[in-house]
Chains A and B, each alone.
Chain A
Amino acid sequence: MNARFEPDNGRRRDRLLLIGFAVAVLAMPLWMRPFGAAYPDLLQRFAIFGIFAMGFNILFGLTGYLSFGHAAFLGVGSYTAVWAFKLLTVNVLPAIAFAMLVSGAFALAIGYVSLRRSGIYFSILTLAFAQMCYNLAYSVLTPVTNGETGLQITRTDPRLIDTWISGASNLIPATNLFGLEMKGYAGFYFCAVVLIAAFYVAMRISRSPFGTMLRAIKSNQNRLNYTGVHSRPYALAAFVISGVYAGLAGALLACTDPLAGAERMQWTASGEVVLMTILGGVGTLLGPVLGAVIIKYLENIFSAFNEQTLHGVFGFLPDGLENGVVTVAGLFVGEGWHLTLGALFMVLVIFLPGGVMEGARRVGGRIRRWRAAPRAGVRRLAPADSGATPGD
Chain B
Amino acid sequence: MSLLQVQMVNKSFAGLRALSDVNLNVEEGSVHAIIGPNGAGKSTLLNCFVGRLTPDTGSVLFDGKSLVGLAPHQINQAGVARVFQTPEVFSDLTLEENVTIPTLARRDGAFALNAWRRLGSRAEVRERALHILDDVGLADERHRTAGTLSRGDKRRLELAMCLVQDPKLLLLDEPTAGMSRADTEKTIELLKRIGELGITKVIIEHDMQVVFSLANRISVMAQGTVIAEGDPAAIKADARVQEAYLGGTHP
Mark A residues whose CB is within 8 Å of B: 1-2, 4-5, 8, 10-11, 204-205, 207-213, 215-216, 218-220, 222-231, 233-234, 237, 241, 385, 388
Give Cα A230 to B111, complex, Å: 6
Give Cα A242 to B84, complex, Å: 33
In contact, B119 and A212 (Cβ under 8 angstroms): yes
* 13 CB < 8 A contacts A-B: A2-B131, A8-B121, A209-B122, A212-B119, A213-B101, A213-B104, A216-B101, A225-B71, A226-B50, A228-B77, A230-B71, A230-B111, A234-B111
Interface string of B74-110 (1 = CB under 8 A from A): 0011000110100011111100010011101110111
Instruction: Indicate whether A208 sits within 8 Å of B110 (C-beta atoms), given known contacts A226-B50, A227-B161, A228-B102.
Output: no
Give Cα A173 to B165, complex, Å: 61
Query: What are the 5 closest A-B residue pairs judged by CB atoms, nearest first?
Result: A8-B120, A228-B76, A210-B115, A228-B105, A230-B110
Interface string of B34-78 (1 = CB under 8 A from A): 000000000000000010000000000000000000011100110
B139 at the interface (CB under 8 A from A): yes
B197 at the interface (CB under 8 A from A): no
Instruction: Indicate whether A10 sits within 8 Å of B120 (C-beta atoms), given known contacts A204-B115, A228-B76, A230-B71.
Output: yes
In contact, B111 and A229 (Cβ under 8 angstroms): yes
In contact, B120 and A207 (Cβ under 8 angstroms): yes
In contact, A216 and B130 (Cβ under 8 angstroms): no
In contact, B90 and A219 (Cβ under 8 angstroms): yes
Interfacial chain B residues near A385, Cβ < 8 Å? 140, 143
Query: How near does chain A come to B150, taking the closest CB pair, in angstroms?
Result: 18
In contact, B118 and A226 (Cβ under 8 angstroms): no
Instruction: Indicate whether A233 sits within 8 Å of B104 (C-beta atoms), given known contacts A207-B118, A209-B117.
Output: no
Closest residue of A by beta carbon distance from B117: A208
In contact, B82 and A226 (Cβ under 8 angstroms): yes
Interfacial chain B residues near A216, Cβ < 8 Å? 90, 93, 97, 101
Interface residues of B in 113-131 (CB under 8 A from A): 113-123, 125-127, 130-131
In contact, B90 and A220 (Cβ under 8 angstroms): yes
Give Cα A227 to B100, complex, Å: 11
Main secondary structure of the interface of A (DSSP, over half): helix
Give Cα A220 to B122, complex, Å: 23
Interfacial chain A residues near B105, Cβ < 8 Å? 227-229
Interfacial chain B residues near A233, Cβ < 8 Å? 111
Interfacial chain B residues near A209, Cβ < 8 Å? 104, 108, 112, 114, 117, 119, 122, 125
Interfacial chain B residues near A2, Cβ < 8 Å? 130-131, 134
Give Cα A209 to B109, complex, Å: 12
Query: How near does chain A come to B49, taking the closest CB pair, in angstroms?
Result: 11
Interfacial chain A residues near B118, Cβ < 8 Å? 8, 10-11, 204, 207-208
Interfacial chain A residues near B123, Cβ < 8 Å? 1
Closest residue of A by beta carbon distance from B131: A2
Give Cα A71 to B125, complex, Å: 39
Query: How near does chain B come to A148, taking the closest CB pair, in angstroms?
Result: 40
In contact, B72 and A220 (Cβ under 8 angstroms): no
Instruction: Indicate whether A225 sits within 8 Å of B72 (C-beta atoms), given known contacts A1-B127, A211-B119, A212-B100.
Output: yes
Give Cα A231 to B123, complex, Å: 24
Interfacial chain A residues near B139, Cβ < 8 Å? 4-5
Give Cα A362 to B111, complex, Å: 37
Give Cα A385 to B140, complex, Å: 8
Closest residue of A by beta carbon distance from B52: A226
Query: How near does chain A come to B111, taking the closest CB pair, in angstroms?
Result: 5
In contact, B113 and A210 (Cβ under 8 angstroms): yes
Give Cα A212 to B93, complex, Å: 9
In contact, B76 and A388 (Cβ under 8 angstroms): no
In contact, A220 and B88 (Cβ under 8 angstroms): yes
Instruction: Indicate whether A226 sits within 8 Å of B76 (C-beta atoms), given known contacts A211-B115, A212-B100, A385-B143.
Output: yes
Closest residue of B by beta carbon distance from A238: B115
Interfacial chain B residues near A219, Cβ < 8 Å? 90-93
Give Cα A344 to B84, complex, Å: 42
Interfacial chain B residues near A223, Cβ < 8 Å? 84, 88-90
In contact, A220 and B89 (Cβ under 8 angstroms): yes
Closest residue of A by beta carbon distance from B118: A207
In contact, B92 and A237 (Cβ under 8 angstroms): no
